Chains A and B, each alone.
Chain A
Amino acid sequence: MPTYRILDQAGRIVDPDCEPPNISTPDLLKLYKDMLTVSILDLIMFDAQRQGRISFYMVSAGEEGIAVGSASSLSPNDPIFAQYRETGIFQYRGFTPPDFMAQLFATRSDPGKGRNMPVHYGSREHNIHTISSPLATQIPQASGAAYAVKMQNARDPTGEQRVVACYFGEGAASEGDFHAALNIAATRACPVVFICRNNGFAISTPTLEQYRGDGIASRGVGYGIDTVRVDGNDILAVREVTRQARELALEDGGKPVLIEAMSYRVSHHSTSDDSFAYRAKVEVEDWKRRDNPITRLRKYLESKDLWDEAKEKDLRSETRKSILEAYRQAEKEKKPALRNMMEDVYEDLTEEQREQMESMRRTVERYPNEGVAPSSSQVRKVDVRIRARCLERQTTDSARPTPSPDRAEASNENSIHLPVCWDRTRQPVHHPELLAQNPIRLGGSSNFTDPRNTNG
């Protein structure tokens, strides 16, 4: 299946005959600002984990465009089920630096009450269900949620017609849950947009060992689901594809749509992983240099005279300032109370839980110096090894000074200005017949690139 794109790696419109993207300047700038904010937040918090200030972190590097671009085409009322590398949807829907920090530092302001590992955000206000670490569990839930939404749409035909959006990686698509989800969504005609971030890796496992055939997109076709593949580094293409997918999902009373967004996981899997144990550093550097969703959009904005170096500098400085301010506040903030350990298992505490809390209280009184009572430092953790790091890297990592946010960003800025070409080793073969079946009506045919022939 070919890959849809609007901008090439240099930020130029691929098909001049095709209408330019229908997007207002403020909206365009919001896309850029949100991607940049996520990348700055990531740099700061990755370092914060390295210093032991938070227990864990996962960055979105290279995939900011997929989250922000797709979120921009959803209604704010569309429920979202996400995985864990979609910080951009929270940013787009209005998460502020204090919102992020409350969760990351597990403070008493965290709506999750300090129960989840960092980056497992969730928000009723923003209609995003809480992230859960087990992979793919959210996908059939999204089908079910979409069925609920379908019935609600039907009951209220004059009200806003909603869809459900569901994000996951290509690794998660190997789980049984993924297959069950697509099949049930297709048979029950659920208005759900499945968005697969194909970033090439599930921790260390490359796509070649994850699946065969024409990527995740071909699974959608197999289940009778309208499917499109998009260049995940092209935020305008992701936005356009999601916009049309959403429309399609609402046709005929509802149906599922699958989007496979091709990208590359520039970062390590998480702070507990060192990806240079299984992939060459030069491969990552090459990708960073060749393409990046943020710089691609920046080049487009500059070509339209909507952006320049001064604006860039101001935005970076403001963003960093507001994130660091929230960071400082969160570090000083109190931790959640100990009763939150027991509450919310059921709607009400059980008799057994009450007795256990009483037992805890007695122990605290009996052994006052033993730290069995909560303290403000109760959640500070150093050197997480969830999804553990490799041993031989550990010494070098510890010895290496962590770069300051400024320096880290500077090196990021330097990284980009060459055209991309899809990594052929992990790009599936071209099936032109699938294009003909593809009901999403996107731009001119030259917007679809055959990855084998794309050299920038």
Chain B
Amino acid sequence: MFRKLQRCYGGVANSLPPRRGYASHPPNARLNIPTDYATTPLLHHSAKSSLANKELSEEARNGTTSRINLFQAVNAALSHALRSDQRVLLFGEDVAFGGVFRCSMNLATEFGDDRVFNTPLSEQGIMGFAIGAAMEGMRPVAEIQFADYVFPAFDQIVNEAAKCRYRAGHNADTMNCGGLVIRMPAGGVGHGGLYHTQSPESLFTHVPGMRVVVPRSPVQAKGLLLGAIASNDPVIFLEPKILYRAAVEHVPAEPYTLPLSTAEVLKEGKDVTIVSYGTPLYTCQSALAAAEKDLKCSVELIDLRTVYPWDRQTVMASVNKTGRCIVVHESAEVAATVQEGCFLRLEAPVQRVGGWSTHSGLAYEKFNIPDVVRVFDAIRTALDY
């Protein structure tokens, strides 16, 4: 496609050598090759495998599937929530025309602009408005256009949403902001630079009162988002924006919720446990496949799904089995808990593979976000320790 455009373009293009596209990788790379979303075992490539998921409702399991990507799964969940519960509202910047990532496509048309609407450009306003609506009995789904832009809303989230129930004391059951869901696209896409790349979930994982959820796939996004809307605790729902289009799988057509604060073991193993969530799971999957082949080991992969409050028991049970733990992301909390809960069983220090102590500079993203090599090397280090 791009070569074709180059030919259409006059002076400049013809004088330049052909370019390799964004998805290119070093010619001799064996580990750092791009994720093949069409074959990764982390996605359901058939209806049968999708419907075999034991976490699904009976209704969903007996239904059909459609092959959709992550933004379409979010759209399906929002559509179901708006249809089945009149308390659900959906709003944020540019939501009415479908949202900049298309998650709210057609919802304003279908459910009306009283329930699906644009707000003025003010994150603190959006958040305070959403909290107020939740406190008076609605179930608002508020969109922050990019997670990088949530910071003006920090006060509302940390001091208000998180403490609402607690400060109500005896009235906690009726004076809380349960049903509030804060959706935000997050994470790197390769060229977002300082302000379209960040993953601020680690900041929210130190805020008791908030649940923080990060789905890894369309199936997970649909079920976890419906679980979040149904939850009586406020939820921050971070959608990995690179997966909006990249991750496509068979998603059960019927509505279903997936449990919050419950991790999922994606692959069982004996020697090393890798704990991660969201997009890096695909990197971990590639690294563990290479490591199992090259290093003759067996790796267990866990998706936290809810980053806070997180499923400590599943992780500790796994590490007590394998004796080695790698956390791919920046959760110091997981590393500290594993150290405390699995100390006598550990064969190697818990390793964390995350971004470096710097900002997400445009030109350096691929050196900053953990790649397959770094996860592979961490597995190797854990085994050799």
Contacts and interface: CB of A to CB of B under 8 A. Distances in A.
Partners in one complex: yes
Interface of A: 44, 47-48, 50-53, 55-56, 106, 113-117, 120, 132-135, 171-172, 174-177, 202-205, 209-211, 272-273, 277-278, 324, 327-328, 331, 335-336, 338, 340-342, 345, 350, 352-353, 356, 360, 363, 366-367, 369-372, 374-375, 377-388, 390-391, 398, 401-406
Nearest to B103: A388
29 contacts: A47-B9, A52-B2, A52-B22, A106-B362, A114-B362, A114-B363, A115-B359, A117-B192, A120-B193, A134-B195, A175-B123, A202-B94, A204-B100, A204-B118, A205-B93, A205-B96, A209-B96, A211-B120, A327-B12, A328-B12, A341-B367, A342-B356, A370-B371, A372-B32, A377-B20, A384-B191, A391-B102, A401-B5, A402-B5
Contact of B152 (A175, A356, A367, A384): A175
B30 A370 contact: yes
Contacts of A385: 189, 245
Contact of B101 (A52, A383, A388): A388
Given A51-B5, A209-B118, A202 B361 contact: no
Interface of B: 1-2, 4-6, 8-13, 15-16, 19-22, 24-26, 28-32, 93-94, 96-98, 100-102, 105, 117-125, 145, 148-149, 151-152, 189-196, 241, 244-245, 356-359, 361-364, 366-368, 371-374, 377
Q: Which 8 pairs across A and B sit closest by C-beta, in order of nearness?
A: A371-B26, A114-B363, A133-B195, A115-B361, A404-B10, A341-B364, A174-B120, A401-B8
Nearest to B364: A341
Contacts of A272: 100
Contact of B362 (A115, A369, A406): A115
Contacts of A172: 121
Nearest to B372: A370
A369 B101 contact: no
Contact of B93 (A203, A336, A345, A384): A203
Given A114-B364, A134-B195, A338-B364, 5 more contacts: A52-B2, A114-B363, A174-B121, A372-B367, A388-B244
Contacts of B1: 398
A188 B356 CA distance: 41
A117 B101 contact: no
Given A51-B2, A404-B8, A177 B371 contact: no
Contact of A390 (B8, B93, B98): B98
A331 B16 contact: yes
Contacts of B15: 328
A51 B368 CA distance: 26
Contacts of B362: 55, 106, 114-117, 379
Contacts of A44: 12
A371 B32 contact: yes
B359 A51 contact: no
Contacts of B149: 134-135
A176 B152 contact: yes
A369 B376 CA distance: 14
A427 B16 CA distance: 47
Contact of B357 (A171, A353, A367, A406): A353
Contacts of A133: 148, 193-196
A388 B99 CA distance: 9
Nearest to A208: B118
Nearest to B366: A378
B310 to A, nearest CB: 25
Contacts of B16: 328, 331
Contact of A366 (B2, B125, B377): B377
Contacts of A331: 16
B132 to A, nearest CB: 16
Contacts of A132: 194-195
A368 B6 CA distance: 33
B93 A202 contact: yes
A209 B244 CA distance: 27
A233 B275 CA distance: 56
Nearest to B23: A382
Contact of B21 (A52, A115, A211, A345): A52
B5 A202 contact: no
A374 B26 CA distance: 11
B133 to A, nearest CB: 18
A133 B358 CA distance: 18
B2 A204 contact: no
Nearest to B21: A382
A52 B151 CA distance: 31
A268 to B, nearest CB: 12
B245 to A, nearest CB: 8
Given A115-B362, A203-B93, A363 B373 contact: yes
A342 B149 CA distance: 23
Contacts of B364: 114-115, 338, 340-341, 378
